[in-house]
Amino acid sequence: MSDLAIKTAASESRYEITKSGAFARQQNRFTTPFGSGAGELPVEAGRYRLLWARVCPWAHRQIIAFKILGLDEVISVGTANPVRTSQGWEFSLDPQGVDPVLGIRFLSEAYAKADPDYTGRATVPAVVDITTGKVVNNDYFKLTNYWETVWAPFHKQGAPDLYPQELRAEIDALNETLFHEVNNAVYKAGFAQSQTEYEKAYDVLFARLDQLEDRLSRQRYLFGNRITDSDIRLYVTLARFDIAYHTVFKANRNRLIDFPNLWNYAKDLYQTPGFGDTTDFDAIKRGYHLNRGRNPYQILALGPDLSIWNERHDRLRFSGTAKEEAHGV
Ligand SMILES: N[C@@H](CCC(=O)N[C@@H](CS)C(=O)NCC(=O)O)C(=O)O
């Protein structure tokens, strides 16, 4: 946790809140990199289990990368209930309410196995070494980069390069911006405990969305005509925007569907294998809306209309061929 961050007794927040009322996300506890160097986590098929919840954007990124790269064949996946309990993420979707591989009921058990003194929030995504049952990496920011690089020997045939060498510096720079000004900015707006901090986050978020809207008016994806790691990172926030952030987090200057380029870009990705087929809007809605503190009567909003995600997008104007046109319908 950052020096500034305190848990405010007055607000009884379970999140890390600074004195001025800003959300200052906790540090990752398990950050050992994957690789072949001394002390690194060995890259080995069948050894790890990725734990996620369909509601979570940081975890969803990993699943999109798995599908695109074919890593779901070599790393198993465990799915927690999208509605977090007072004891944290629970594997209540599984028979007997226990993860079938790790035999745990709550995610916190795998964190405790790795560090009995861990006092932070037990978060997804978390990678567990099946041989020990311990969490070995929960570095939500870097994980996709490991899947894209050191895990390359296990990529499926024909998998695209989501993190091309020649673009890495630019991708890293954009990812940093996306993190502060989009991915985490929605949380900073939603968790702020002062008007000033909420407004700061809101302004940063919409200023960046305006810039991205402009960038995407000139090219199909963030880096031209190829999907990269950055597109995965932007997509997971956009997919949650109108259904959750716009209402629950008060990120409501306008909706995603009010930005013509961002909206068509989001639909384009949604209709691409790996994106829409891993997006569970019902889980997202439940996970954000059925928070007991915010919604004591547990009323689930009926809207918005989600069928529009399958409507035709206009992005083929940047790279259209007859074949792609047909696919985009
Ligand atoms: N690991 C990061 C980011 C991942 C994250 O925030 N995951 C959320 C779900 S989207 C989570 O697992 N929260 C559990 C909790 O707050 O108890 C963190 O600690 O802030």
pLDDT band of 324, cuts 50, 70, 90: very low
Nearest to 303 by CA among 314, 317, 293, 289: 289
- Residue 28 is predicted with a pLDDT of 84
- Residue 286 is predicted with a pLDDT of 97
pLDDT band of 13, cuts 50, 70, 90: low
DSSP single-letter state for residue 82: S
- Residue 29 is predicted with a pLDDT of 82
118, HSE (Cβ side, Cα atoms, 13 Å): 22
Beta-sheet pairing, 134-137 with 126-129: antiparallel
188, two tokens? 């900073």
CA–CA separation, 88 vs 54, rounded Å?
14
Give the predicted TM-score (pTM) of the model.
0.93
Task: Evaluate if residue 4 carries a pLDDT over 70.
Answer: no
- Residue 11 is predicted with a pLDDT of 44
- Between the CA of 122 and the centroid of ligand 1 the distance, in Å, is 7
Per-residue pLDDT, averaged over 88-106, amounts to 98
CA–CA separation, 177 vs 152, rounded Å?
26
Ligand 1 and 261: CB distance under 6 A: no
What the chain holds in terms of domains, given with CATH numbers, is 48-154 (3.40.30.10), 165-328 (1.20.1050.10)
CA dihedral (270, 253, 249, 259) in degrees, to 10, reads 0
Q: Which one of 16, 56, 240 would you pick to mutate in the ligand 1 pocket, going by the greatest count of ligand atoms within 8 A of its CB? A: 56
326 vs 259, 316, 322, 329, CA distance in Å? 24, 10, 6, 6
pLDDT band of 291, cuts 50, 70, 90: confident
pLDDT band of 5, cuts 50, 70, 90: very low
Contact assessment for residue 289 and residue 301, using Cβ atoms and an 8 Å cutoff: yes
Task: Evaluate if residue 12 carries a pLDDT over 80.
Answer: no
At 108-160, the pLDDT tens digits run 999 999 999 998 999 999 999 999 999 999 999 999 999 999 999 999 999 99
Nearest atom in ligand 1 to the alpha carbon of residue 124 is: 12
Q: Name residues whose C-beta falls within 8 Å of residue 160's C-beta, 6 or more positions apart in sequence.
A: 68, 226, 227
Ligand 1 and 92: CB distance under 6 A: no
